[in-house]
Amino acid sequence: MGRKTFVILIITAAVLSASIIFSLSSGSYSLRLDEIIRTLIGRGNPLSNTIVMQLRLPRIFIAILVGASLSTAGCILQSILGNPLAEPGIIGMNSGAALAVVLLISSSSSAYYDSIGIYTMMLLPIASIAGSFLVTALIYVLSVKKGANPARLTLTGVGISAGINAFIALYQLTMSKGDYNRALTWISGSLWGSNWLFFGIIAPAAAVSIGFAMYNSKLLDVIRLGRETAVGLGVDVDKKQKSLLGIALVLSAASTAVAGNISFLGLMGPHIANRLVGPVHIRKIPVAAGISSVLILLADTASRTMFSPLEVPVGITVSILGVPYFIYLMLKEA
């Protein structure tokens, strides 16, 4: 690891820490820095204890996990699909999760603000993970014809998710308003209602998967060079592609389970990292994870505070920030 990478990693970590403090302090009840520190070392009052330990801190930790997971998934997909604009949200991996959640919500309660029991809370992530697995498998199967051609995989994903969206519309229109809003919040991607339990569930999955991706970083480097080169260097591309796709799926499903559909995060982090430290994955993955975490943390803080007491789903904020960047990339690279 070069000196430059080291410096950039330190800077990223510093910016991330600053974002964490900023996010901890702002909200519908703002806290001063000394109050936060006192609470963190266990000497706060009950009010600040609840705000920091039960509400904001778990949300921040989950935001960081989601940012890191989606960015790593983006790195993997961009390498194996050979498409610098690939990303779990855009290629349709999450649409299955959205469908599963809408089906679940429309089949259960119809009360306006039903108290969300632990049962429903656990069921939503499970349904969303199952949904994204099924749909990604479907996309993969439909795009396999003498190996999975990357362009075909991307287009099939876009097509399938367009179809699923039409199907979701059928349910959305017949839902009661409360259910509809709940589904919309989730589909748009929101960190509302984060807690330590969710963190405990996805942290191990995300950590293992990101570790696996780092371990395979050389493989990702080689595959990025193109199929012919990779085969020429002795890589069994089809097999490796499948297992790497699986890792990307686990990462995106885990973050979708707690935060819903957040697009573009897996695109922005890797691209900015690419500019800072270059395309080598062992350096790119951690820097990208840090950058994506900062982005989602700031976007979430903005979503919470901008229209307070109303909250905009963070996925929407990220999209509004992400698309102009995406378009800029398109125009530059075309």
Partner 1 sequence: MVSATKKAILAGFILSLLAALGIIIAVAFGSKNIPLSTVIDSIFNYEDVLDMQVVRNGRIPRALAAILIGGFLGISGAMMQGVTRIPIAEPSLMGITQGATFAVALVSINPDFYAMTENTFAALAGSATSGGLVLLFSMQNPRNMSISRFVLAGTALGTFFISLASTLSILSNRTQELAFWVAGGLRSATWDSVAMLAAAGGLCSLAALFISGRINIVNLGEDMAISLGERPGVVRFMAMILIIIICSVSVSVAGNIAFIGLIVPHIVRSFVGENYKLIMPLSFLGGSVLLIWADNAARLLNRPYETPVGLFTSLIGVPIFIWMVRRNS
Q: Does 310 bind partner 1 (CB under 8 A)?
A: yes
As measured in angstroms, the least distance from the Cβ of 268 to partner 1 is 12
Question: In this structure, are residues 15 and 30 in contact, taking their beta carbons and an 8 Å threshold?
Answer: no
Q: Does 327 bind partner 1 (CB under 8 A)?
A: yes
87's CB contacts (< 8 A; 6+ apart) are 73, 74, 77, 78, 263, 264, 265, 266, 267
Task: Report residue 255 as tokens.
Answer: 């973050």
Tokens 């940012």: give the residue. Answer: 67
As measured in angstroms, the least distance from the Cβ of 78 to partner 1 is 12
Residues in contact with partner 1, total (CB under 8 A)? 48
Among 191, 205, 220, 312, binds partner 1 (CB under 8 A): 312
Among 85, 201, 225, 231, binds partner 1 (CB under 8 A): 85
Q: Smallest Cα–Cα separation from 223: which of 118, 81, 103, 117?
A: 81
Q: Does 152 bind partner 1 (CB under 8 A)?
A: yes
Segment 174 to 193, residues that bind partner 1, using CB under 8 A: 175, 177, 180-181, 184, 188
As measured in angstroms, the least distance from the Cβ of 123 to partner 1 is 23
Peptide bond into 309 cis (omega under 30): yes
**Whole-number Å distance between alpha carbons of 116 and 125:** 14
Question: In this structure, are residues 85 and 220 in contact, taking their beta carbons and an 8 Å threshold?
Answer: no
Q: Does 141 bind partner 1 (CB under 8 A)?
A: no
DSSP 144: B
Name the residues that contact partner 1, by CB under 8 A.
83, 85-86, 90, 142-143, 145, 149-152, 154-156, 158-160, 162-163, 166-167, 169-170, 172-173, 175, 177, 180-181, 184, 188, 263-264, 307, 310, 312-313, 315-316, 319-320, 323-324, 326-327, 330-331, 334
